[in-house]
């Protein structure tokens, strides 16, 4: 507790949760939260307010008081600063407030100061908190959404796995509660806040509204149904990919939020995330398959799905049978194709044949034309003419020798 080193021991984790979040002895938070804690601490600048894990935990304590304003919290923090740090008091306060709010509420209120420079996290929603209490700050941001007046129904097929497989929407995991269900990249990606164990710790908290926590957990039950084995395998695949890339791990309890019944899957049951859910459902419903894999997975329109695959199977069978017939035809009639490519010639000297007597011509014809293809002598006469000679007899043969044909 008296240093900023990692990894954390089990005792240190327990003290941090008890001090920062008011965790009771039997309550539990997933290790994914401590990976989040480590990334924030290692990325923040060390000062008197954040010199060790104990000081960081004590930094969060004033923010847990619902009636404490930001100005009052800053006055308490000023007493803990050294004289040299008073010269940059505003930057230290902004950094300390942002770190404390991120640890307490998993929301960002400003930029992160690291090694003396100000770092802005791209695309992450920043919620301004300049005055008032932290409860007022939360209520100003999380309000009931009803700007989109459209009735939508969430079928069983509507889940995070099918958003990717059918809708072509990339699922990205966020550690910012304010970015939950936010669409990105021209509606090509959606962010999901997955820290379910963290949310459960705030169910009795006076800071986050209980209705907001309950509804956020129900959105996880909607997108990550607990008893869907295909979604479970998909979730584990995402967990493995994040680990290989060195990203923050997923909260495993996000898959343990239950499964909504039919009457619970109505849009009227959602108020804080109403508009974002409607937009997400619209994107899902309007998505059209653009690959063979999506055509196979997309069974929202059963008649269209069956029609497409029956037509695809008939086309494939037609092509296959056509190729088979072509191959068989070639194998059955090899002689016909050899005849078309080879000219059988009779190698005879016309001056010598002209001197033969008719009897000798007849004998020659009988001996040489019994096997036209195999024993024919080579001249310049095609096979078709040779067969004609055989039908018409020696007279035609004599015509050949005299140059009449």
Q: What is the residue-level pLDDT of the chain in tens, covering all 405 positions?
A: 778 889 998 888 888 988 888 776 566 778 999 999 999 999 888 888 888 999 999 999 999 999 999 999 999 988 888 888 888 888 888 889 999 999 999 998 876 544 444 444 457 898 888 889 999 999 999 999 888 988 888 999 999 999 998 888 999 999 999 999 999 999 999 999 999 999 998 988 889 999 999 999 999 999 999 999 999 999 999 999 999 999 999 999 999 999 999 999 999 999 999 999 999 999 998 877 666 565 555 555 655 655 765 777 777 788 887 888 888 777 776 555 455 444 444 444 444 444 444 444 443 444 444 444 443 444 445 555 555 555 555 544 444 444 444
Alpha carbons 17 and 29: distance in angstroms, whole number: 8
Alpha carbons 1 and 15: distance in angstroms, whole number: 9
pLDDT for 218 equals 97
DSSP one-letter string for 96-114: HHHHHHHHHHS-B-SPEEE
Residues 28, 197 contacting (CB under 8 angstroms)? yes
pLDDT for 46 equals 82
Q: Is the peptide bond before 79 cis (omega within 30 degrees of 0)?
A: no
Q: Which helix (H) or strand (E) holds 174?
A: strand 170-174
| Cα–Cα distances in angstroms (integers) from residue 152 to residues 93, 103, 200, 286, in the given order | 45, 35, 28, 13
Alpha carbons 64 and 73: distance in angstroms, whole number: 10
Domain ranges of the chain: 10-133, 160-299, 304-332, 340-401
pLDDT for 300 equals 58
pTM over 0.75: no
Answer positive or negative: Cα dihedral of 195, 198, 200, 205. negative
Alpha carbons 224 and 378: distance in angstroms, whole number: 82
Alpha carbons 151 and 154: distance in angstroms, whole number: 10
């Amino acid at each position: 507790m008296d240093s900023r080193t990692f990894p954390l021991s089990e005792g240190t984790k327990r003290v941090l949760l008890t001090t920062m979040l008011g965790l009771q002895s039997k309550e539990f938070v997933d290790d994914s939260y401590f990976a989040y804690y480590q990334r924030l601490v290692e990325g923040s600048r060390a000062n008197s307010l954040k010199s060790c894990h104990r000081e960081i935990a004590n930094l969060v304590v004033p923010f847990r008081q619902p009636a404490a304003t930001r100005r009052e919290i800053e006055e308490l923090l000023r007493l803990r600063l050294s004289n040299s740090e008073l010269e940059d008091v505003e930057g230290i306060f902004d950094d300390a407030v942002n770190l404390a709010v991120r640890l307490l509420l998993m929301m960002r209120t400003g930029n992160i100061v690291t090694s003396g420079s100000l770092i802005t996290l791209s695309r992450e929603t920043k919620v301004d908190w300049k005055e008032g209490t932290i409860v007022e700050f939360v209520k100003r941001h999380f309000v009931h959404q009803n700007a989109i007046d459209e009735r939508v129904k969430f079928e069983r097929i509507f889940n995070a796995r099918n958003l990717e497989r059918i809708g072509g929407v990339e699922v990205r995991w966020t550690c910012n509660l304010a970015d939950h269900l936010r669409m990105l990249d021209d509606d090509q990606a959606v962010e999901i806040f997955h820290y379910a164990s963290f949310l459960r710790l705030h169910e009795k908290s006076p800071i986050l509204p209980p209705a907001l926590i309950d509804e956020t957990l129900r959105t996880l039950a909607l997108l990550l149904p607990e008893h869907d084995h295909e979604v479970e395998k998909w979730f584990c695949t995402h967990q493995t990919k994040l680990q290989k890339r060195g990203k923050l791990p997923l909260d495993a309890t996000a898959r343990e939020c239950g499964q909504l019944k039919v009457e619970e899957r109505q849009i009227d049951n959602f108020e804080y995330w109403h508009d974002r859910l409607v937009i997400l459902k619209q994107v899902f419903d309007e998505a059209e398959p653009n690959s063979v894999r999506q055509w196979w997975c997309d069974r929202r329109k059963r008649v269209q799905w069956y029609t497409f695959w029956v037509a695809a199977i008939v086309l494939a069978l037609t092509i296959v049978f056509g190729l088979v017939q072509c191959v068989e035809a070639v194998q059955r009639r090899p002689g016909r194709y050899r005849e078309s490519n080879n000219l059988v010639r009779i190698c005879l000297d016309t001056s010598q044949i002209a001197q033969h007597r008719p009897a000798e011509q007849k004998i020659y014809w009988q001996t040489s034309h019994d096997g036209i293809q195999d024993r024919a002598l080579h001249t310049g006469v095609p096979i078709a003419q040779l067969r004609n000679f055989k039908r018409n007899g020696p007279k035609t043969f004599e015509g050949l020798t005299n140059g009449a044909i």
